[in-house]
Amino acid sequence: MRYLSTRGGIQPIPFKDAVMMGLATDGGLLLPESYPRITPEQLNAWRRLSYPEVAFEIISRFVDDIPPADLKGVIDRSYATFTHPEVTPVVRENGVYILELFHGLTLAFKDVALQFLGNMFEYILAERGQNLNIVGATSGDTGSAAIHGVRGKKGINIFILHPHGKTSPVQALQMTTVTDANVHNIAIRGTFDDCQDMVKALFNDLEFKEKYALGAVNSINWARVLAQVVYYVYAWLRVTEAGEAPVSFSVPTGNFGDIFAGYVAKRMGLPIEKLLLATNENNILTRFVNQGDYSLAGVVSTLSPSMDIQVASNFERYLFHLFGEDPVRVRAAFAELKAEGRITFSSEEMAQVRRDFCSASVDQEQTLDTIGSFYKETGYLLDPHTAVGVRAALEQLPGDSLRVCLATAHPAKFGEAVEKATGTPAPVPPAIAALEGLPTRCKVMDADLAAVREFIVATIG
C-alpha cells in the first residue's frame, strides 16, 4: 500500500514513511492510493474475532512494509492497556447504541488511535535507530492521549500545545501531571485554532522539520485515522446479526478525523446507511453540509470544548475525494479559504456531500437537556460531546434504524457539565481521582510562533 499527498507534491511512499512524515512535504495530507474492499463474506467471518484481531484484519490491508507478526505485536500491545475486555464495547440505551470509546488510559476515544500510533513510532524508530520530536495541538483529549501514548518511550520527545484555560480541568490535569522528562506541555493564550496554525507552520517549514526531526501526532497523521476505522467495523459486527444490514453512525466531531474514519470504512464496503456529522455552536461543518456554506467564523467556547474548532484539518482529506482526487482543485480551494475566508462548491459537489453525510448542530442548552433527560430515562450518563451526537441521532435518524452514537469521552472528564445537567456528580474513576494533588509542569506562552519555535529548540538542546 502506497500513500500520496492531497496536494500532489510527492510521489507515493510506503506506510512507515507516511507514519513518520505525518504531513506531506508539500503541506498536504497523506492518503492511500486506493482503499481495499471488505466483502460481506469477510465481515461475517470476523464476527467472533476480538477487537485486536479485527484491528489486525483492517490495518494489515493498508500495511505491506511491516512483517505481519510484528504488526500484530504492535496492535496487541496497544489494546492491552484498555480496561474493558472488548476495548470499545457497545451498549443499547433508549433506542440507540452507544459505542463506548473511553476505556483507555485517558478515558477518551483518542486513546484508541494514539496507543497504536505511539507503539508504531517506537517500533519504527527502534528499527531505524532514529529519534523523533513530536509536536501537536489539542483542544482537550488529543494531547493527554498522545502524551500517554509516548511518555517514557526511548528516542521520543513530545511537545503539546493547548489553549490556556479552555480545556476541562480534568483534561488539563491529564496533560500537565505527566512530568516524564520527554513530555513538554505548552499552554497558549489563544484558541485551539491558534495552536493548530502554529503546529502546521512548524511542519510547513521543511528545513526546521528535517533539522529537528518533527513528527505529527494530531489527526493529520494517517495512522490515527486508520486505527479509528477499526471501531466502525467492530461496532457494525456487534449490532448486526448477519447479512449486510446497514447501520447509521452519529459522530460528534470538530476536526473531522473521527467521521472521516467512518467515511473510509464505508468506502471499504462496510454497510453504512448514514454518517451523521454532529456539531456544537462551532458549526462550520453543519453549515457546509446543510447549506453549502463553508465560511470561517469566530470560535465559541462551549461545554464540549474538544469540538470548539473552526478549521477542521481532516476536511482536506474528504475534499480530495470530493474533487475527484484532483490536487489542483484542493490547492485552489485552500487558496480561496486563505484569501476570502470561505470555500465555494458546485451544485454537483454539494449533491455528493449530501449523499455522503447528513448533519445537525446542537447548542449548549440542548446538550444539557439531553444529558439530563437521557440520565432520567435510562440511568446512563453522557458526557457533553457524546450528548451532542445522541441528540442529533434522536432527532435526525429514523427510530426504526440501527443507530450507533460514538461516546467519545467518559462523563467524569466533564463533571461540571454533567452535574449541572443532572444534579448528580459523575462517578469519578480511579484514573481521574489519582490526579488530584499531583505536581504539574506546563509552560504558558502567547500565540507567538517564534517563541514556540525557540522553546522547542532550547528544550531539544
CB 430 within 8 Å of CB 275: no
Q: How far apart are CA 397 and CA 9, in angstroms?
A: 40
Longest Cα–Cα distance in the chain: 60
Chain centroid, CA 407 distance in Å: 13
* Cβ atoms < 10 Å from Cβ of 113: 31
Q: Which of 16, 72, 110, 413 is catalytic?
A: 110
Q: How far apart are CA 238 and CA 240, in angstroms?
A: 6
Counted residue by residue, the chain has a size of 461
DSSP code of 305?
G
Identify the CA nearest to 251 among candidates 306, 179, 184: 306
280: phi > 0 → left, psi -120 to 50 → alpha, else beta; which?
A: beta
Q: How far apart are CA 60 and CA 1, in angstroms?
A: 10
Ordered DSSP codes for 434-456? TTTT-----EEEES-HHHHHHHH
**461: helix, strand or coil:** coil
Amino acid making up residue 410: H
> Exposed, middle or buried: residue 298 (CB in 10 Å: 0-12, 13-18, 19+)?
exposed
Active site annotation includes 110:
yes
What are the backbone dihedrals phi and psi of residue 247, each rounded to the nearest 5 degrees, phi first?
-125, 140
Amino acid making up residue 27: G
CB 137 within 8 Å of CB 218: yes
CB 354 within 8 Å of CB 292: no
CB 360 within 8 Å of CB 389: no
Angle at 130 between CA 205 and CA 220, to 5 degrees: 45
CB 36 within 8 Å of CB 61: yes
CB 101 within 8 Å of CB 408: yes
What would the grid cell of residue 432 be? 481521574
CB-facing half-sphere around the CA of 446: CA atoms within 13 A: 3
Give the residue numbers marked as catalytic: 110
